[in-house]
């Protein structure tokens, strides 16, 4: 398939710059079956759309304050050079890969000073990234980043407004527990404690996975032949306890419905050999039409960018024609798109 097969028209004014309030008041487009029956609901309706015995699987990663502003000392006794750094993937206790602007002003061996006394040295560069060794490690580095950094809102929001303190809460899910992401698993942003209580009362079960989202989630597909695209690897964890809980639900006839594409990619990576098994490793799984889903019986997800790997994933689950029709309906009905936007509930097994 070609990249152009996954294109669609999206009016810029439908890109959400702030989330719905309360979170579960966001709109929810339900897409049922291979025929793609469409139903306009809201997230708060979710308990009535799922069955007792179904299981939701959330990503419990926590977004760190990964947007760092720093300075590189001048090479000729002039003024320091302002450098913007967006952390991408943690490589060790004191090393991160990152994107920098202006990256061309940095060389191997340069030191960058950040707020709060935090500093790092550039140890290497690639075409897109720099590699940083910080002056501290582990929990001490984590604490320093929280002081020095800002919330790393998506580029299509940052191009329209600056990040602010509202984003510190808005861009963090209710499930956030394990620090490590530089972007939110945004389907989880729609949940409130009241909604979780209602789902539990209905008999809907829940378990967690962890996938630390990196900035690769925003990188465009550049090849027109989508099979030539290579995903950025992200570290994912599925515990033995979660495997047992999910397996028990599916054996009993319940559905496993990930909350977001990151949770889905973790599950499908953990079942790559055929059976679901504990997983603790990087994954670069790329799901496109023709993929056979092993674990995910549905998906709750936000609306994704044209020609993105995530629109390819939802097209793999429901069919590209169904998803194009669903997105055209969402545009017509003025749904809000992307990270702070509305949601879809994809149920391929329903009539």
CA 328 distance to own-chain centroid? 23
> What are the structural domains of the chain?
3-63+168-347 (3.40.1780.10), 67-150 (2.40.10.240)
DSSP 3-state of 267: helix
Contacts 24+ apart (CB under 8 A), 309-312: 309/221, 309/229, 309/231, 310/217, 310/261, 311/6, 312/6, 312/226, 312/286, 312/287, 312/288
Rounded-to-integer distance, Cα 120 and Cα 324, Å: 45
Residue 171 has pLDDT above 90, yes or no: yes
Residue 351 has pLDDT above 90, yes or no: no
Rounded-to-integer distance, Cα 141 and Cα 134, Å: 8
Residue 230, pLDDT score: 86
The token pair that represents 311 in the structure block: 């629109």
Residue 226, pLDDT score: 92
Rounded-to-integer distance, Cα 8 and Cα 307, Å: 8
Residue 77 has pLDDT above 80, yes or no: no
Whether omega for the bond prior to residue 122 falls within 30 degrees of 0, making it cis, is no
Residue 212 CB neighbour total at 10 angstroms: 24
Look at the block and give the residue holding tokens 């597909």.
221
Burial of residue 167 (number of CB atoms within 10 Å: 0-12, 13-18, 19+): buried
Per residue in 296-340, pLDDT (tens digit) is: 999 999 999 999 999 999 999 999 999 999 999 999 999 999 999
Within 80-226, residue ranges assigned H as helices are 138-148, 155-158, 165-170, 193-202
Region of 231 (left: φ > 0; alpha: ψ -120 to 50; beta: rest) is beta
Average pLDDT of the segment spanning 277-288: 96
Residue 103, pLDDT score: 86
Average pLDDT of the segment spanning 189-201: 98
Residue 74 has pLDDT above 80, yes or no: yes
Burial of residue 54 (number of CB atoms within 10 Å: 0-12, 13-18, 19+): buried
Per residue in 78-137, pLDDT (tens digit) is: 789 999 999 999 999 999 999 999 988 899 999 999 999 999 999 999 878 999 999 999
The token pair that represents 331 in the structure block: 């545009």
CA 226 distance to own-chain centroid? 20
Residue 68, pLDDT score: 96
CA nearest 182: which of 227, 151, 138? Answer: 151
CA 346 distance to own-chain centroid? 17
Residue 175, pLDDT score: 98
Handedness of CA 24, 28, 32, 38 (dihedral sign): positive
pTM assigned to the model: 0.94
Residue 220, pLDDT score: 82
Give the chain's mean pLDDT. Answer: 95
Residue 273 CB neighbour total at 10 angstroms: 8
Residue 266 has pLDDT above 80, yes or no: yes
Rounded-to-integer distance, Cα 144 and Cα 167, Å: 19
Handedness of CA 10, 12, 18, 20 (dihedral sign): negative
Rounded-to-integer distance, Cα 50 and Cα 52, Å: 7
DSSP 3-state of 337: strand
Average pLDDT of the segment spanning 156-181: 94
Residue 126, pLDDT score: 85
Residue 219, pLDDT score: 76
Q: How far is CA 300 from CA 17, 55, 236, 319, in A?
A: 20, 12, 19, 16
Length of the chain: 351
% of residues, the chain, pLDDT over 90: 88
Per residue in 198-222, pLDDT (tens digit) is: 999 999 999 999 999 998 777 788 8
């Amino acid at each position: 398939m070609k990249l152009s097969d996954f294109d669609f028209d999206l009016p810029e004014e439908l890109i959400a710059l702030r989330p719905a309030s309360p979170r579960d008041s966001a709109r929810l487009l339900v897409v049922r079956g291979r025929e793609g029956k469409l139903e306009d609901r809201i997230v708060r309706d979710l308990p009535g759309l799922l069955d007792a015995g179904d299981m939701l699987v959330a990503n419990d990663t926590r977004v760190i304050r990964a947007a760092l502003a720093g300075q590189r000392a001048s090479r000729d006794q002039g003024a320091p050079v302002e450098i913007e750094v967006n952390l991408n993937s943690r490589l060790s206790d004191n090393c991160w890969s990152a994107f920098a602007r202006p990256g061309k002003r940095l060389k191997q061996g340069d030191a960058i000073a950040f707020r709060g006394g935090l500093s790092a040295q550039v140890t290497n560069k690639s075409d897109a990234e720099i590699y940083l060794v910080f002056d501290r490690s582990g929990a001490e580095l984590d604490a320093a980043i929280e002081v020095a950094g800002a919330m790393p809102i998506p580029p299509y929001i940052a191009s329209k407004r600056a990040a602010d303190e509202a984003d510190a809460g808005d861009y963090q899910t209710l499930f956030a527990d394990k620090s490590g992401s530089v972007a939110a698993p945004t389907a989880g942003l729609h949940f409130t404690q009241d909604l979780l209580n209602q789902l539990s009362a209905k008999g809907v079960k829940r378990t967690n996975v962890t996938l630390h989202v990196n900035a690769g989630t925003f990188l465009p597909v550049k090849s027109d032949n989508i099979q030539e695209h290579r995903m950025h690897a992200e570290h994912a964890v599925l515990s033995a306890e979660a495997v047992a809980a999910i397996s028990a639900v599916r054996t009993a006839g319940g559905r496993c419905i990930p909350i977001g594409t990151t949770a889905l990619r973790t599950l499908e990576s953990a079942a790559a050999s055929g059976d679901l098994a504990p997983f603790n490793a990087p994954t670069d799984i790329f799901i496109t039409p023709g993929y056979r889903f092993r674990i995910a019986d549905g998906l709750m997800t936000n609306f994704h960018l044209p020609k993105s790997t995530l629109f390819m994933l939802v097209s793999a689950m429901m069919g590209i024609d169904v998803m194009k029709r669903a997105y055209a309906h969402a545009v017509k009905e003025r749904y809000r798109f992307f990270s702070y936007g509305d949601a879809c509930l994809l149920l391929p097994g329903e009539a």
